[in-house]
Amino acid sequence: MPVSPSPEAPLPETFEAAMAELTRLVSDMEAGSMSLAESLAAYERGKRLERFCQEQLQIVEDQLKLIDAQGNEQPLKLESRR
């Protein structure tokens, strides 16, 4: 049976790592091998990962809008809103 991280475990450092963990959680939940308590913990963790990913995507979208508006060609720097 897969072991889910605690819902309060630190978030991954990158969008890609968060998506990979979220994908694993969904796969584990869909397999149906988790207890009710494990499923609840996985759901909570998944919601935190989803919010983190949405925040990271919003940061990039905001930066792209700024680049388009200013014609700025400086490299993008992701700043987490954690």
Domain spans in the chain, listed from the N-terminal domain onward: 15-70
User: Region 29-54: what's the mean pLDDT?
Assistant: 95
What is the CA angle 38-43-44, rounded to 5?
Answer: 100
The amino acid that residue 32 corresponds to is G
Token reading at 39: 């499923």
DSSP conformational letter for 9 = S
What CATH number was assigned to the domain covering residues 15-70? 1.10.287
Q: For residue range 45-76, what is the model confidence (pLDDT) as tens digits? A: 999 999 999 999 999 999 998 888 887 566 65
Instruction: Report residue 80's pLDDT band, with 50, 70 and 90 as the boundaries.
Output: low
Helix (H) or strand (E) holding 18: helix 15-31
State what percent of residues in the chain have pLDDT above 90: 65
Residue 78 CA to residue 61 CA, distance in Å, equals 11
Per the prediction, the chain carries an average pLDDT of 86
Contact status, residue 33 vs residue 4, Cβ threshold 8 Å? no
